[in-house]
Amino acid sequence: MSAPLLVLDGDSLAHRAYHALPKSINNNAVVGFTNFVLRLWEMEEPRAVVVGWDTLTAPTYRHEALEVYQSGREFDDSLLRQLDLLPELVAALGFAYGKAPGYEADDFLAAAVRSEEKRRGGRSVVVTSDRDSFQLVSDKTTVVTPVRGVSELARIGPAEVRERYGVEPAQVPDFIALRGDPSDRIPGAKGVGPKTAATILKQYGSLDAALDAGRFPQQREELLLYRRIATLDASAPLPPLKDQSPTWAEASSLFRSWGMNQMADRLAARAAGSA
Amino acid sequence: MLLVRHSVPEVDPSIPAADWRLTAEGRSRCAALAERLAAHEPDVVVSSPEPKARETAELLAARLGLELREAAELREQERRTVGWLERAELEAGIRRLFAEPDQVVFGEESATDALARFSRAVDGLGDGAVVVSHGTVISLYAAGCTGSDAFEIWSGLELPDLLVV
């Protein structure tokens, strides 16, 4: 089997790292993110790595279309400062990344997966805690979600999406529109939980068909909006995803310039080992 | 899961650390920690039986209005025979413990054995569990979860502290 494209939700991993390590560690999210990435790189042996990032300073069409979308989220200043450092680190590691106003990290995941699907034999491993990404799952794309850090990872293929949600991966945006998504504050259809959402999609095949059959006449436009919000935007701009060789020495120098000598030493040792 | 290191203990070199209780400052710090925990909507508190952890857990459970359970396997790495040490000596011992995880090099229990029984206690718990325990075993567990260095985590933990894994 060919080496996969490793596609990382940078914000998701950085948030996890920030909360999983003591705040007194200098740049704890950067340390934890790097350790996550190194572990994943060793596990997956990818041909290339691409990381998607949110641009928290700019709203996306989702925020403009739905006022409550992701409302109430507040992040520590320390985390925000570290999120600004991480794209530079990813570049120093020799990996690609996508970050642009108007797009969320998971839009870049969709763009990367679509790009890899066009390669002959291409396959992707997407690492994120965000279940919206289940819509990307296929026989070529697996979603890996951390259960307890990187020590326990759940691998989600088409069968696991069916088992968890009772729908096909391509139906996930319809499913989210109907069920809602508390973490993103998407309300969903009134009185519809996960089981009913799955049953409706099984019966009608799609949200469009359910609406055309007269279901939820009062909420038609809202539900179409929720689906649009839940659908990842694969048009997010990414650089070419060529095969990569990690540049450990460059990343080591960057850590040194940040005064993070322990990480600098680890990556220097890795660079010496791979020289 | 929410891993909590106990709050500030009353250091008494004449008795084993495993028997220390919290100071007044230690008890007071639990209020702010309870507020941080509340944001995660926890559903149960599970504690080590050691007094400083148990007391931390009782204060948290009371403030959060949660059931409190005790699990002996959440106790600190066994080192009752080590006695009280100055910080530098303690750090050297912990470094050795983490560097030679399969060997009994500091106290009466290897890092591997301490981590194994701690893991048995927490692996069946849900994400909403608040686990109140101790610096060494929490560091070993969090290091496995994050791929990070256990000693760096141990050195960075405060009293009390919260790690979400």
With an 8 Å Cβ cutoff, is B116 touching chain A?
no
Residue A149: what pLDDT? 66
The two three-digit tokens of residue A72, written as one number: 């109430």
Residues A21, B157: C-beta atoms closer than 8 Å: no
With an 8 Å Cβ cutoff, is B128 touching chain A?
no
Using a CB-CB cut-off of 8 Å, the residues of chain A touching B164 are 16, 19-20
Write the burial class of residue A27 (CB in 10 Å: 0-12 exposed, 13-18 middle, 19+ buried). Answer: buried
Q: Chain B: residue nearest A31 by CA?
A: B148
DSSP-assigned letter for residue A143: E
Task: Lowest mean pLDDT of A102-116, A144-158, A256-270, B58-72, name the range.
Answer: A144-158
Q: Which amino acid is at A187?
A: P
Q: Does residue B20 contact residue B10 with C-beta atoms inside 8 Å?
A: yes
**Residue A151: pLDDT above 80?**
no
**B153: nearest CB among A16, A21, A148:** A21
What integer best gives the mean pLDDT of chain A? Answer: 95
**A32: nearest CB among B148, B157, B158:** B148
Which of A54-63, A119-128, B63-72 is the most confident on average?
Answer: B63-72
With an 8 Å Cβ cutoff, is A256 touching chain B?
no
Residue A275: what pLDDT? 56
Q: Chain A: residue nearest B155 by CA?
A: A25
Residues B142, A149: C-beta atoms closer than 8 Å: yes
Q: Chain A: residue nearest B146 by CA?
A: A149
Kindly report the nearest CA distance between residue A127 and chain B, in angstroms.
14
**A20: nearest CB among B146, B157, B158:** B146
DSSP strand E in chain A: where?
A: 5-9, 48-52, 96-98, 124-127, 141-148, 152-156
Residue A120: what pLDDT? 87
**Residue A136: pLDDT above 70?**
yes
**pLDDT > 90 in chain A, percent:** 86
Residues B146, A24: C-beta atoms closer than 8 Å: no
Give per-residue pLDDT as tens, B90-119: 999 999 999 999 999 999 999 999 999 999
Give whole-number Cα distances, A45 to A96, A125, A186, A246, B86, in Å.
16, 11, 36, 11, 44
With an 8 Å Cβ cutoff, is A39 touching chain B?
yes
Query: What ipTM, to 2 d.p.?
Result: 0.94
Residues B147, A262: C-beta atoms closer than 8 Å: no
Residues B146, A25: C-beta atoms closer than 8 Å: no
Give how many domains chain B has, as a whole number: 1
**B146: nearest CB among A23, A32, A262:** A32
| Helix, strand, coil % over all residues of chain B, rounded to 5 | 50, 15, 40
Given the DSSP bridges, would you call strands B161-164 and B2-5 parallel, antiparallel or unpaired?
antiparallel
| Helix, strand, coil % over all residues of chain A, rounded to 5 | 50, 10, 35
Which residue reads 């055309």 in tokens? A212
Kindly report the nearest CA distance between residue B162 and chain A, in angstroms.
7
Residue A188: what pLDDT? 96
Q: Which residues span the domain enclosing B114?
A: 2-164
Give per-residue pLDDT as tens, B42-73: 999 999 999 999 999 999 999 999 999 999 99
What is the Cα–Cα distance from B103 to B77, expressed in whole angstroms? 13
Higher pLDDT, A70 or A105: A105
With an 8 Å Cβ cutoff, is B1 touching chain A?
yes
Kindly report the nearest CA distance between residue A149 and chain B, in angstroms.
4
Given the DSSP bridges, would you call strands A48-52 and B68-70 parallel, antiparallel or unpaired?
unpaired
With an 8 Å Cβ cutoff, is A134 touching chain B?
no
**pLDDT > 90 in chain B, percent:** 94
Give per-residue pLDDT as tens, A245-254: 999 999 999 9
Give per-residue pLDDT as tens, A215-230: 999 999 999 999 999 9
Higher pLDDT, A56 or A83: A83
Q: Does residue A122 contact residue A2 with C-beta atoms inside 8 Å?
A: yes
Q: Which B-chain residues 135-164 have CB contacts (< 8 A) with chain A?
A: 142, 144-149, 152-153, 156-158, 161, 163-164
Using a CB-CB cut-off of 8 Å, the residues of chain B touching A22 are 153, 156-158, 161, 163
Give per-residue pLDDT as tens, B125-162: 998 999 999 999 999 999 999 889 999 999 999 999 99
Residue B95: what pLDDT? 98
Question: Which CATH number is B16's domain given?
Answer: 3.40.50.1240
